[in-house]
Amino acid sequence: MIDLIKNLYTKIGRPLNFMEVCGTHTVAIFKHGLRGMLPDGLKLLSGPGCPVCVTSIKDIDKAIAFAESKDAIMTTFGDMMRVPGGKKTLSEAKADGADIRIVYSPLDSLKIAKENKDKNVVFFAAGFETTAPLAAGTISEAERQGIENFYVFSVHKLVPPALDVLLQSDDVRIDGFILPGHVSTIIGSKPYGFVAERYKIPCVVTGFDAQHIISGIVMLLKQISEGRAEVEIQYKSVVNPDGNAKAISFIEEYFEPSDSYWRGIGMLPNSGLKLKEKWRHRDAESVFSLDVPDYPEPKGCQCGLVLRGVKMPNECPMFGKACTPDRPIGACMVSTEGSCAAYYKYQSTA
């Protein structure tokens, strides 16, 4: 397959940039040393598909404010604990006395709410389309059980609108997309159709082992060599064009698109999910009035350029020096799915 990639690339005869959107793909590519197997002119860029990395400073600060308010318990997935806010992380807020608890499922938050009826339990709902149905289903269950002290702080992000904005940037040059398998399991492949139709850029939804990714690269090169731009599915065992109808119905019942701020990138229209008016009594932002100050991105941090595929992690002057996984300055160094953290760990195979 590597030989086929080299032959196809030679036939095309020009430099190419492929972007893997998903953070899990980024880790797999580094882990298996795939970049080093490819022709010199075929470059793999990491995209904005790490939910931890794109959660804004202000949203972290809001989560901390919820946690530090009276009679409150904040629940969150563990990978959000070390993301830098304006002054501290959730982990540091917990050390300072805030009641912040790590959960493995939003449903764990319901159990905590039932056991602490005198507390307001807020679930920090971060992630892409993959996790949104879980949050929606948990709200449904809270309604069914009459658990009134459960709320959701939604910072969910949507992948297709982010790709649209990315492709409108003058400094971004992408010749093909390796599309996220997890997100596409939920939404299917059709929502990416505009990438091929409007921008004439080939796309392939791939799985996460080395052979899946290599197969996806072969499929992208075949499209380019044949002058095609389509959305194809390599990950057919899991993904279909229409996605998961049940999961999509949960999202559409409880959420609606909203403008959302992506860390390092900025405000992107209709790229987030907020609770619909019918469910605002479960929306922590609507129920609890909290005002937090705005803090700028860390000076010198180039996570935004990394997330947009404009720079590689090691091109940031802080990388591996001021900013390491033990002392992260930018969000891309915090998560195991972050481009900088993956590059730091596997840079010998990059």
Q: What is the CATH number of the domain that holds 124?
A: 3.40.50.11740
| Residue 52 pLDDT | 87
The answer to whether the CB of 217 falls within 8 A of the CB of 178 is yes
* pLDDT tops 70 at residue 350: no
Q: Which residues make beta-bridge pairs with 76?
A: 102
Residue 279 belongs to some domain of the structure? yes
At which residue do the structure tokens 């001021």 appear?
322
**Which range among 16-20, 177-181, 240-244, 312-316 shows the weakest confidence by mean pLDDT?**
312-316
- Strand 255-262 and strand 266-275: the pairing is antiparallel
* Euclidean distance between CA atoms 47 and 36, whole angstroms: 19
**Region 268-276 average pLDDT:** 96
Q: ∠340-341-344 over CA atoms, to 5°?
A: 85
Which amino acid is residue 21, in one-letter code?
A: V
Give the predicted TM-score (pTM) of the model: 0.92
Predicted confidence (pLDDT) at residue 132 exceeds the cutoff of 70: yes
The 8-class DSSP code of residue 338 comes to S
- Identify the pLDDT of residue 290: 82
Which domain does 139 fall in, by range? 53-158+243-287
Q: Is the pLDDT of residue 139 over 80?
A: yes
In a domain, 87, yes or no: yes
**Is residue 289 scored above 90 in pLDDT?**
no
Q: What is the pLDDT of residue 317?
A: 92
Whether 349 shows a pLDDT value over 80: the answer reads no
Is 116 inside any structural domain?
yes
Closest-CA residue to 134 (of 170, 113, 115, 110): 110
Q: What are phi and psi of 301, to 5 degrees?
A: -70, 135
């900088």: which residue's tokens? Answer: 340
27 belongs to a structural domain: no
pLDDT reported for residue 348:
57
Residue 220 lies in a domain: no
In sequence order, the β-bridge partners of residue 42 are: 16
Whether residue 102 lies inside any domain: the answer is yes
User: CA separation (Å) from 186 to 133, 139, 239, 273?
Assistant: 9, 18, 8, 15
Residue 264 lies in a domain: yes
CA gap 128, 51 in Å, rounded: 7
In a domain, 200, yes or no: no
Interval 101-106 mean pLDDT: 96
- Using the predicted structure, report yes or no on whether residue 204 has a pLDDT greater than 80: yes
- Distances in Å between the Cα of 214 and the Cα atoms of 2, 33, 64, 177, 235 are 8, 11, 41, 13, 12
The token duo for 165 is: 């904005």
Mean pLDDT of 37-66: 93
- Number of structural domains in the chain: 1
